[in-house]
Each structure stands twice: as structure tokens, then as C-alpha cells.
């Protein structure tokens, strides 16, 4: 596998690892910008993936620490899906992608990197977005810095009602 320079990863590699779940947010929104939280709703929130598969990769996550979709209450499940729909619309407005991958990985065998706390991925995609890099070099290219992506998306989510 080839390597591309990704300077934002060094903080994760060398920094202390959290003892708690990265998806369990504090009640106060004081850390939302540094944690890349885009929106807080009643039962869920929208957060950027800080190790994205593609620029604009976001996740809709329930506040409650559950690992399976069957553990959600009806209200939680409905709101999560409402925000998946709203987030897809926002990604289309902000990035004009050719498509969007939307998925939930439940359990390690299904590819869940953080299997203890359910989250729904939304990954904008463009025809040829990873072109030969992914096929030949097993490498993906992110054309925009995370902070720039956050600043691009935040105004769209700020206008949403809670």
C-alpha cells in the first residue's frame, strides 16, 4: 500500500487515546467545533468522520450508547432516519456529488470500526473520485482539509430546526 501525506492523523497516532466512546458527546456544545459536530437534534447528532473515506463523509449518530439498530426506540430510529435524509440533501447542496453511499455497519464482521456505538455513514461519491489510486495503489485522496469541509457544511446544518 502506498502512503499519502495526511498531517492531521499524527495527532491521533501520537496522542492519547480516549478512555470513553468518541460518539458519547458531553451535554454542552462547547467542544462541538473541535469534535466536528455539525448539528445536535433531540435524539441524535450529525458529526464528520475525522478519518473519512471521501471528502464530506459524515455520520448520523444517536446520543444513546447502543450498538444495534434494534436497540433504538421508535422515536430515536425515526429521528436518525430523518437526519440521514436531511444530511443527504445537504451533501447534495454542498458538494454536488454524483452519488452518496449510506450505510450502517453492525458488528466487527460487518466492518464497524467503532462497533459499540451505532452510527450511520453518509459518503458523497463522484464518478472517478478515487480513480486509479484506490485500484492500483490501495490509496484514497482527500482533496479538501477537514476544517474546510466542516466550515463548508456547518451553515447548512445551522439552518436546521432541532
Q: Is 119 a catalytic residue?
A: yes
Q: What is the pLDDT of residue 4?
A: 52
In a domain? residue 6: no
In a domain? residue 44: yes
Contacts of 94 (CB under 8 A, 6+ apart): 56, 152, 153, 156
Which of 98, 119, 121, 130 does the annotation list as catalytic? 119
In a domain? residue 110: yes
Three-state secondary structure of the chain: CCCCCCCCHHHHHHCCCCCCCCCCCCCCHHHHHHHCEEEECCCEEEEECCCCCCCCCEEEEECCCCCCHHHCCHHHHHHHHHHHHHHHHHHHHHHCCCEEEEEECCCHHHCCCCCCCCCEEEEEECCCCCHHHHHHHCCCCCCCCHHHHHHHHHHHHHCCCC
Q: What is the pLDDT of residue 135?
A: 44
Burial class (CB in 10 A: 0-12, 13-18, 19+), 105: middle
Q: What is the pLDDT of residue 109?
A: 87
In a domain? residue 27: no
134-145 mean pLDDT: 58
| pTM exceeding the 0.85 threshold for the entire prediction | no
CATH assignment of the domain containing 93: 3.30.428.10
132 pLDDT band (50/70/90 cuts)?
A: very low
In a domain? residue 26: no
User: How do residues 67-121 score in pLDDT, each as one tens digit?
Assistant: 999 999 999 999 999 999 999 999 999 999 999 999 999 988 888 888 899 999 9
Q: How many domains does the chain have?
A: 1
In a domain? residue 14: no
Whether pLDDT at 11 is above 80: no
135-150 mean pLDDT: 70
Q: What is the pLDDT of residue 95?
A: 95
In a domain? residue 143: yes
Q: What is the pLDDT of residue 70?
A: 97
Q: What is the pLDDT of residue 67?
A: 95
In a domain? residue 124: yes
Instruction: Report residue 134 as a C-alpha cell.
Output: 484506490
Q: What is the pLDDT of residue 157?
A: 95
Q: Residue 127 is part of which domain span? A: 35-156
Amino acid at each position: 500500500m502506498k502512503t499519502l501525506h495526511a498531517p492531521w492523523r499524527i495527532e491521533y497516532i501520537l496522542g492519547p487515546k480516549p478512555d470513553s466512546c468518541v460518539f458519547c458527546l458531553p451535554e454542552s456544545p462547547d467542544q462541538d467545533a473541535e469534535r466536528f459536530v455539525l448539528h445536535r437534534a433531540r435524539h441524535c447528532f450529525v458529526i464528520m468522520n475525522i478519518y473519512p473515506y471521501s471528502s464530506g463523509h459524515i455520520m448520523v449518530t444517536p446520543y444513546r450508547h447502543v450498538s444495534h439498530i434494534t436497540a433504538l426506540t421508535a422515536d430515536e430510529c425515526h429521528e436518525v432516519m430523518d437526519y440521514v435524509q436531511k444530511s443527504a440533501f445537504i451533501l447534495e447542496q454542498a458538494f454536488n456529488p454524483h452519488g452518496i453511499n449510506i450505510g450502517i455497519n453492525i458488528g466487527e464482521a460487518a466492518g464497524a470500526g467503532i462497533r459499540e456505538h451505532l452510527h450511520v455513514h453518509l459518503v458523497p461519491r463522484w464518478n472517478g473520485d478515487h480513480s486509479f489510486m484506490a485500484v492500483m495503489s490501495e490509496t484514497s485522496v482527500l482533496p479538501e482539509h477537514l476544517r474546510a469541509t466542516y466550515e463548508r457544511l456547518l451553515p447548512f446544518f445551522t439552518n436546521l430546526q432541532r
